[in-house]
Amino acid sequence: MKFKSVFDIIGPVMIGPSSSHTAGAARIGRIARDLFGKQPKWAKIYLYGSFAETYKGHGTDVAIIGGLLDYDTDDERIRTAFEQADALGLSYEFIPETAHTEHPNTARIVIGDDEQELSMVGISIGGGKVELVELNGFPLRLSGGLSAILVVHDDRSGCIASVAKCLADQQINIGHMEVSRREKGNMALMVIEVDQVVGPEVLTEIAALPHITQVTRIAD
């Protein structure tokens, strides 16, 4: 079951006409910004399926840009997100695609600045809910419904156990966890959804563990 309450069915408090095309799109954009860790300078947004067909009429485009500007789904500034982006120097391009995807409401967001670049694929599954299915080429399944941490690490024995122990020592319960890798012995990605807020001191402790290269937190 994707819906846990009547409010999930009705949809979120939001700006725009559609919980899937507007609220979900804004959340996808905002998660991409959270993962990037700062305001990007440019964005390329590839839209698939229903997103590609109706993104202008349903406000998907302005919602994604609003998310990239760190606006929540009910933020009135979403209506003027294009103007705000131009004022901040955020350049953006929307690219409708015809390729088939697993879900009709799919967006690939590629953002960057002079120092780094990030690629993320998100889908809007209804009621304003989203799932992340790819990050920088790593397959994953992140619902966005819980606080989560993403840990990039070397594919070595003991990494998962050391991160899990660090969370357990702080009484942080793991609700869901996935690990993916591109190839054996190379780089891997840990996706951990947790029931409690992970504070900065815990992130610092995890980042200091052997074979850990990056730790990112996503708020619920």
Q: Which tens digit of pLDDT belongs to each residue from 27-83?
A: 999 999 988 989 999 999 999 999 999 888 888 999 999 999 999 888 999 999 999
pLDDT in tens, 72-114: 888 999 999 999 999 999 999 999 998 888 888 999 999 999 9
**Mean pLDDT value of segment 134-161:** 86
**Mean pLDDT value of segment 139-152:** 80
pLDDT given for residue 144 in this prediction: 58
Fold of 147-218: Alpha-Beta Plaits (3.30.70)
* CATH code 3.30.1330.90 region(s) in the chain: 13-136
* CATH code 3.30.70.260 region(s) in the chain: 147-218
Nearest-5° Cα angle at 201, 195 to 203: 65
* Exposure of 215 in the CB half-sphere (CA atoms within 13 A): 19
List, in sequence order, the alpha helices (H) in 157-218: 159-169, 200-207
> For residue 220, what are the CA distances in angstroms to 31, 146, 170, 196?
10, 5, 19, 10
Whole-number Å distance between alpha carbons of 156 and 63: 40
Q: Which residues pair with 194 in a beta bridge?
A: 147, 174
Both tokens of 207, joined, read 């980042």
Alpha carbon 176 to its chain centroid, in Å, reads: 16
3-class DSSP assignment, residue 36:
helix
Whole-number Å distance between alpha carbons of 19 and 17: 7
> Model pTM greater than 0.75?
yes
Fold of 13-136: 60s Ribosomal Protein L30; Chain: A; (3.30.1330)
- Please give the mean pLDDT across all residues of the chain: 86
Both tokens of 30, joined, read 């905002």
